[in-house]
Amino acid sequence: MASRLDACCSRIETAVRMNQVSTSMKGVVKGMDKSLASMNIEQLSAVMDKFESQFEDLDVKTQYMEGAMNATTATSTPAEQVDELIGKVADENNLELGEAFSQAGPVGKKTPSVAESATKTQAQPDDLEARLANLRS
């Protein structure tokens, strides 16, 4: 619920900023009309530069807002709900998650490396060989 509220707040802020940019663009367009009427190239160049800078500012603000919205919605999802969803999908498709899934822990936490698991599998055959040798003697 909090993530939805954050997303709505972000969208409202984006709409307000877009309104501000639209208002300033109206002023630029009026300036362009005056420049075109007088055909003063220096004034026309200055207005175009201002127009380009406002579009660059808009692009930066848009990227920031999109990043903020993506970050708030991605980080606010509880891990328990994700695990429940994965379990539900696995049950619907008759998949077995196994112990490795439950022992893996949350994303971003340390998981057993390939070298650790290889060491464990090598230790098991050595134990079996020792037991076999003990039985033969």
Q: What's the pLDDT tens digit per position in 50-96?
A: 888 888 888 888 888 888 777 776 666 677 777 788 888 888 887 77
* Amino acid 60: pLDDT: 86
* Amino acid 33: pLDDT: 81
Residues whose CB is less than 8 angstroms from the CB of residue 43 and which lie 6 or more positions away in sequence, other chains included: 31, 34, 35
pTM of the model: 0.31
pLDDT per residue over 18-57, tens digit each? 888 888 888 888 877 877 777 777 877 888 888 888 888 8
Give φ, ψ of 113 to 5 degrees: -85, 170
HSE-up (13 A, CA, CB side) for residue 124: 6
* Amino acid 118: pLDDT: 53
